[in-house]
Amino acid sequence: MRWFSHRAAVAAASVLSIATQSQVAVAESVNGNAVVANGTSFALNGDNVSYIFHIDPATGDLISDHFGGSVTGAIPAAAEPIVNGWVGATGRIRREFPDQGRGDFRIPAVRIRQSAGYTISDLQYQSHTIVQGKPGLPGLPATFGSEEDVTTLVVHLHDNYSSVAADLSYSIFPKSDAIVRSVNITNLGEGNVTIDALSSLSVDLPYEELEMIYLRGDWAREAHRERRKVEYGVQGFGSSTGFSSHLHNPFLSLVHPSTTESQGEAWGFSLVYTGSFAVNVEKGSQGFTRALLGFNPSQLSWTLRPGETLTSPECVSVYSATGIGGMSRSLHRLYRKHLIKSKFATSDRPALLNSWEGLDASINASNVYQLAEESAKLGIKLLVMDDGWFGNEYPRDDDTAGLGDWQVNQAKFPDGLGTLVNNVTALKAANTSTPLRFGIWVEPEMVNPNSTLYHEHPDWALHAGDYPRSLSRNQLVLNVALSEVQEFIIDSMTRLLKSADISYVKWDHNRGIHEMPSPSTDHAYMLGLYHVFETLTSRFPDVLWEGCASGGGRFDPGVLQYFPQIWTSDDTDGGERVAIQMGTSLAYPPSAMGAHISAVPNQQSSRSVPVEFRGHVAMMGGSFGLELNPEELHEDEKAALPALIQLAEKVNPIVLEGDMWRLALPEETNWPAVLFISADGTKAVLFAFQMRANIDNSSPWVRLEGLDAKAEYRVDGGSVYTGQTLMSMGLQFVFEGDYQSRVVMLDRV
């Protein structure tokens, strides 16, 4: 039996340190009972979650006890495993940081190759430290919070045979029911060691049936939700593309087979990283489920010289007893408040018009200005000039040339960029005195061989000796691990942003990694990229930055640290977007999604969807906009746009700050529905959709969730119903035809 004290904080100092497990008999409680340690046992407690582990006195190993609903007082010890086969005791227990080579045959969280060639480790508890607040991670994006928001426990492990130390850092955000873990590996020996594998999080859950939920996709069909049984053996996914990728997202959820959107237990794991990654779920022979999220071992091979440290990215874990929806809302709240650094995280996202689908790369000063004039007439507040504006010796007329040469093309913009921006920002959005803002597209990590940059610096592109450099979209990737490349990007973007009144940047990235000088370039690139992001976003805090990678190829928490929004997909078909945006919302707040109305037939799917449906879907994203040339629209579509823009502006604050309730999923019904409830609970907006015409049948009621049962709500300025009624009975809509939709406002009376 172990015991966790729930007395109020006893620590006057903000940093407590315990040298050995035997020294401390009295439990320490820090920040209320956010972290409770008694020297051999540790508990992290949130409002509705407890995460508990202890030190095995015989081996110094860290043993997991519990990750789930709140635990109070004494906890029962796990039964001693009966060792009766050739899987030894270490293969029959739940371990916090499984190392390699000593009888646990499941996937290890760390594999260290010593100079002698061994890959064995024996990492034993040495001491621990508790810190109020959360220290940053050197060079990596990380969640943050004040001393009241978060408490951090660092457990120091040491391998006496190899002189390698590992620090496991656990931070608890009690209000978000979130525990964040990262790992430091330090070489304290005299020879080099190589880290071949390192997971930020490894969690062993007890013997029970579980299912895994994750996001898969490809270009223009990102974030499709998959759910399947966790089978005996290893199952997993990841990315080896050098970025988080369209193919899989660095996110995993584990649930019980009976868990639904609104009921049951759900664990969510989200890796705060943008590079290649690996997620593995292993159900071992004893029935425990181990989940690991971290670096992709095929692209790590990280050498540590004496005294050096490798810090893993951090992994966020949340627990929900209120289904998959509860898990998502915890992640959303955490990310809005404790991950996204931009001042625009939950505010001021102007309705925009992006030139890409309307004009392609065929842009010049006159057609961009015309687009701006048309935009202003519709009530748009920000004009974004996409690809095609740069390159002189190698003009960017299409995707074969120009990347790397970040100077405005003088033939297309004879009076320069500054003049165009001044002209655009002199326009006023219809019926307002709001000046139009100007935004610009860049893709700074890339180079076309047809560019001045490549001719001057061919060595800056990724390459491995004389191996041919594989082109994709006619471009190569700059080796952002090199400091001269980082400086080039920082300098050229700084020059661009100082050259005109630019208030928005769309930062694109349109291909995967290719020939690298070594596997470790993958992570070195990320450290370089984060340095570039950090420098530029702190230098230009008033710029609204948008991430993009051929759509949502880099929709991850690493990017969100610096950019408050990401272009969700190049698929702008409203019908397809319902699933893409609802899938993305599994892990990421809708505030972070860019979503636009484009023209029909849609450029990706050739489908024609009514403009209202396209608009309603787009306004579920925090950054609403248009991606079309208004001059080419049908008159009735054009006429519908001002009202849609106004409605988007009305619902935007609720989408940016509020909680999202996925009421009905597109993969399960013809009538997907989503409810957003404002942070203070006084307003809500319901989106109800019909995907396909439902001939001569009735339509289902949409039951609302998350309202205050006792409160009353006025629906669309008319009838008043109680929250209880709206949640028990719901609202019903009559739809006629394919792709129909309704947006309904609720005001608490």
Nearest distance, CB of residue 319 and ligand DGJ, angstroms: 35
CB of 402 to ligand DGJ, least distance (A): 11
CB-nearest residue to ligand DGJ: 387
Which of 121, 503, 510, 623 contacts ligand DGJ by CB under 6 A? 510
Q: Which two tokens stand for residue 160?
A: 């006496």
CB nearer to ligand DGJ: pick between 355 and 561: 355
Residues 431 to 450 in contact with ligand DGJ, rule: CB under 6 A = 441
Q: Kindly state the helix (H) or strand (E) to which residue 539 belongs, with its residue range.
A: helix 521-539
User: How does DSSP assign 298-337, residue by residue?
Assistant: GG--EEE-TT-EEEPPPEEEEEESBHHHHHHHHHHHHHHH
Is 510 annotated as belonging to a binding site?
Answer: yes
The answer to whether residue 186 forms part of the interface with ligand DGJ (CB under 6 A) is no
The encoded tokens of residue 676 equal: 């957003």
390 binds ligand DGJ (CB under 6 A): no
Separation CA 476–CA 121 (nearest Å): 39
Residue closest to 621 by CA, chosen among 587, 647, 585: 585
219 annotated to bind ligand: yes
Q: Which is nearer to ligand DGJ, 200 or 550 (CB)?
A: 550
Which has the closest alpha carbon to 622: 566, 677, 665?
566
405 binds ligand DGJ (CB under 6 A): no
Residue 389 in the binding site for ligand DGJ (CB under 6 A): no
Geometric angle at alpha carbon 137, from 297 and 159, rounded to 5°: 60
Closest CA to 97 of 70, 115, 121, 131: 121
Give the whole-angstrom CA distance, residue 60 versus residue 41.
Answer: 12
β-strand pairing of 251-255 with 233-239: unpaired
Q: Answer yes or no: is 473 a known binding residue.
A: yes
Instruction: Count the helix, strand and coil residues of the chain and give each as a percent rounded to the nearest 5.
Output: 20, 30, 45
Measured distance CA(727)–CA(705) in Å, rounded: 5
Q: What is the closest distance, in whole angstroms, from the C-beta atom of residue 596 to ligand DGJ in the complex? A: 9
Using the minimum distance from each CB to ligand DGJ, give the nearer residue, 314 or 508.
508
Among the listed residues 475, 474, 409, 422, the one whose alpha carbon sits nearest the alpha carbon of residue 444? 475
Complex with ligand DGJ: residue 31 or 598, whichever CB lies closer: 598
Q: Is 386 annotated as a binding residue?
A: yes
- Report in angstroms how near the CB of residue 490 gets to ligand DGJ at its nearest: 22
The pair of three-digit structure tokens given for residue 515, joined into one six-digit string:
């020939």
Distance from chain centroid for Cα 308:
29
Residue 476: CB minimum distance to ligand DGJ, A: 15
Residue 140 C-beta: closest distance to ligand DGJ, Å: 26
Using CB under 6 A, which of the segments 31-39, 283-291, 543-551, 741-749 binds ligand DGJ? 543-551
**DSSP secondary structure string for all residues of 380-413:** --EEEE-S-SB-SSS--SSTTS-TT--SB-TTTS
Question: Which of the stretches 20-28, 197-205, 544-552, 730-738 binds ligand DGJ when contact is defined by CB under 6 A?
Answer: 544-552
Q: In this structure, are residues 438 and 421 in contact, taking their beta carbons and an 8 Å threshold? A: yes
> 140 vs 247, which CB is nearer to ligand DGJ?
247
Q: Is 32 exposed, middle or buried (0-12, 13-18, 19+ CB in 10 A)?
A: middle
CB of 220 to ligand DGJ, least distance (A): 9
Stretch that binds ligand DGJ, among 296-304, 481-489, 548-556, 684-692 (CB under 6 A): 548-556
CB closer to ligand DGJ out of 543 and 660: 543
Identify residues 345-374 at the interface with ligand DGJ (CB under 6 A): 356
Kindly state whether residue 172 participates in binding ligand DGJ, applying the rule CB under 6 A.
Answer: no
- Residue placing its CB nearer to ligand DGJ in the complex, 177 or 387: 387
CA angle 603, 609, 610 (to 5 degrees): 130
* CB contact set of 57 (below 8 Å; sequence gap of 6+): 21, 40
CA–CA dist 202, 224 (Å, integer): 25
Q: Of residues 185, 478, 548, 620, which one binds ligand DGJ by CB under 6 A?
A: 548
Query: 167 has which bridge partners?
Result: 156, 184
Window contacting ligand DGJ (CB under 6 A); options: 291-299, 426-434, 547-555, 661-669: 547-555
- Does 551 bind ligand DGJ (CB under 6 A)? Our answer is yes
The binder of ligand DGJ chosen from 550, 561, 568, 581 (CB under 6 A):
550
Output the smallest distance, CB 87 to ligand DGJ, in A: 49
386 is a site residue for ligand DGJ (CB under 6 A): yes
3-state SS class at 180: strand
Compare residues 397 and 534 and give the one whose CB is closer to ligand DGJ.
397
Q: Closest separation between CB of residue 741 and ligand DGJ, Å?
A: 24
Q: Judged by CB, which is closer to ligand DGJ: 555, or 721?
A: 555
Instruction: Tell me how crowded residue 474 is: count the other CB atoms within 10 A of its CB.
Output: 15
Assign 590 to helix, strand or coil: helix
Nearer Cβ to ligand DGJ, position 99 or 546? 546
Spatial contact of 91 and 284, defined as CB atoms under 8 Å apart: yes
509 has binding-site annotation = yes
Measuring CA to CA, how many Å separate 571 from each of 552, 604, 687? 10, 6, 20
User: Which positions from 63 through 92 interact with ligand DGJ, judged by CB under 6 A?
Assistant: none
User: Does 570 help bind ligand DGJ (rule: CB under 6 A)?
Assistant: yes
Asked whether position 387 contacts ligand DGJ by CB under 6 A, the answer is yes
736 and 699 Cβ atoms separated by less than 8 Å: no
Query: Is 149 annotated as catalytic?
Result: no
Backbone torsions φ then ψ of 399, nearest 5 degrees: -85, 15
Is 548 known as a binding-site position?
Answer: yes
Residue from the set 344, 390, 562, 567 that interacts with ligand DGJ by CB under 6 A: 567
Q: Which of 674, 553, 549 is nearest to 621 (CA)?
A: 674
Residue 122 annotated among the catalytic residues of the structure:
no
Shortest gap between Cβ of 94 and ligand DGJ (angstroms)? Answer: 43
Q: Please state, in angstroms and rounded to a whole number, the distance separating the CA atoms of residues 242 and 656.
A: 30
- Considering 508, 522, 556, 573, which one is annotated as catalytic? 508
CB of 344 to ligand DGJ, least distance (A): 20
User: DSSP character for 491?
Assistant: H
Is 508 a binding residue for ligand DGJ by CB under 6 A? The answer is yes
Q: Rule CB under 6 A: is residue 149 a binding residue for ligand DGJ?
A: no
Size of the site for ligand DGJ (CB under 6 A): 11
Given the complex with ligand DGJ, which of 564 and 672 has the nearer CB atom?
564
Only one of the segments 315-323, 497-505, 545-553, 695-703 lies at the binding site for ligand DGJ (rule: CB under 6 A); that segment is 545-553
Contacts of residue 527, defined as CB under 8 A and 6 or more positions apart, other chains included, come to 139, 140, 481
Q: Output Rg (C-alpha) for the chain, integer angstroms.
A: 27
State the catalytic residue, choosing from 159, 196, 556, 570.
Answer: 570
Q: How many CA atoms lie within 13 A of 82 on its CB side?
A: 1
Please give the residue ranges that form the binding site for ligand DGJ (CB under 6 A).
Answer: 356, 386-387, 441, 508, 510, 548, 550-551, 567, 570
Q: Binding site membership: which residues?
A: 219, 386-387, 473, 506-510, 548, 570
Catalytic residues: 508, 570
Annotated binding-site residues for substrate read: 219, 386-387, 473, 506-510, 548, 570
